[in-house]
């Protein structure tokens, strides 16, 4: 209910833009699946550019989109994948979001979508699967690139570790995993926009009453988890959620390479 209410508020705010911009009118309503602010197609293009710049995406690869939501990344990647002979699988714990994706992209045979019924207190409270036992709906060593955009910002650290391990199994050797997070470190432990406060030994949250609304993890804990999952190297870029940004993104960005 909380997520739906936030989505409805976002939809109300978007009405003036939808009235004048045909591209915005083509967006799904946030009440269906609220994942934050910004234009649907605009963010899709941004995510495609992020994979091109930081993960070597050129349209020929197999791409796994973890927490695909209503398909923003799919919208940004679709044309390049069709031209380059690549393929895409997006999955999400929201059944309504996956239903929307299947309708919107029904004419794109290189795009596939799956519902993963994992329990999450904000996005899927009635899910049948424990997130710590999550098994991704894909074959091992079947993807060249994986993406998790604003997923680890809504998962506790044990679930992050599980998702990292599952992603490593899904990637081919040398495959790249681009994911965003709030990576907390000295001097960047909170900001005006994200006033994080301690939650547990590895993480901080903006709102203790709704901890998974926005959760940040200690950078050292994230990087230990990356290594434990089987990634042999990674690059780190600071987002503009706090001072000291070095790339144009709202969250911190990791690009990890599977060994």
Higher pLDDT, 36 or 77: 77
Confidence of residue 122 (pLDDT cuts 50, 70, 90): confident
Whole-prediction pTM = 0.88
Alpha helix positions (H), 94-197: 95-104, 157-170
Residue pLDDT, tens place only, 97-116: 999 999 999 999 999 999 99
The reply to whether 140 falls in a domain is: yes
Q: Residue 170: what pLDDT?
A: 98
The reply to whether 251 falls in a domain is: yes
**Gyration radius of the chain's alpha carbons:** 17
CA–centroid distance for 54 within its chain? 15
Residue pLDDT, tens place only, 141-152: 999 999 999 999
The reply to whether 13 falls in a domain is: no
Three-state DSSP state, 70: coil
Q: Residue 182: what pLDDT?
A: 98
The reply to whether 162 falls in a domain is: yes
Q: Residue 3: what pLDDT?
A: 54
Confidence of residue 235 (pLDDT cuts 50, 70, 90): very high
Three-state DSSP state, 47: helix
What is d(CA 118, CA 9) in angstroms, rounded to the nearest whole number? Answer: 26
Domain enclosing residue 59, as ranges: 39-258
Question: Which range, of 6-10, 44-48, 176-180, 195-199, averages the lowest pLDDT?
Answer: 6-10
- Of 142, 151, 139, 146, give the one whose Cα is nearest residue 176: 146
Confidence of residue 37 (pLDDT cuts 50, 70, 90): low
The reply to whether 14 falls in a domain is: no
Structure tokens at 116: 């993963």
The reply to whether 31 falls in a domain is: no
The reply to whether 152 falls in a domain is: yes
The reply to whether 3 falls in a domain is: no
Confidence of residue 26 (pLDDT cuts 50, 70, 90): low
What is the number of domains present in the chain? Answer: 1
Residue 12 has pLDDT above 80, yes or no: no
Q: Which domain CATH number covers 117?
A: 3.40.50.150
Residue 129 has pLDDT above 80, yes or no: yes
């Amino acid at each position: 209910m909380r997520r739906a209410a936030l989505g409805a508020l976002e939809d109300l705010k978007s009405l003036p833009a939808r009235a004048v911009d045909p591209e915005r009118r083509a967006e799904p309503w946030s009440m269906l699946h609220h994942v934050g602010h910004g234009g649907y197609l605009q963010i899709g293009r941004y995510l495609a550019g992020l994979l091109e710049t930081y993960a070597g995406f050129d349209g020929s690869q197999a791409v796994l989109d973890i927490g695909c939501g209503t398909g923003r990344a799919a919208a940004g990647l679709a044309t390049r994948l069709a031209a380059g002979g690549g393929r895409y699988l997006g999955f999400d714990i929201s059944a309504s979001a996956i239903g929307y994706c299947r309708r919107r992209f029904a004419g794109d045979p290189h795009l596939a979508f799956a519902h993963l019924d994992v329990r999450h207190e904000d996005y899927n409270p009635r899910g049948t699967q424990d997130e710590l036992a999550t098994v991704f709906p894909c074959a091992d060593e079947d993807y060249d690139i994986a993406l998790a955009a604003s997923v680890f910002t809504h998962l506790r650290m044990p679930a992050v570790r599980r998702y990292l391990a599952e992603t490593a199994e899904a990637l081919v050797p040398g495959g790249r995993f681009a994911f965003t997070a709030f990576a907390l470190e000295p001097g960047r432990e909170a900001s005006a926009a994200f006033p994080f406060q301690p939650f547990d030994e590895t993480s901080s949250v903006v709102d203790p009453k709704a901890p998974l609304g926005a959760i940040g993890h200690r950078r050292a804990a994230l990087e230990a988890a990356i290594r434990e999952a089987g990634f042999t190297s990674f690059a780190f870029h600071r987002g503009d959620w706090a001072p000291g940004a070095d790339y144009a993104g709202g969250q911190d960005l990791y690009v990890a390479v599977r060994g």
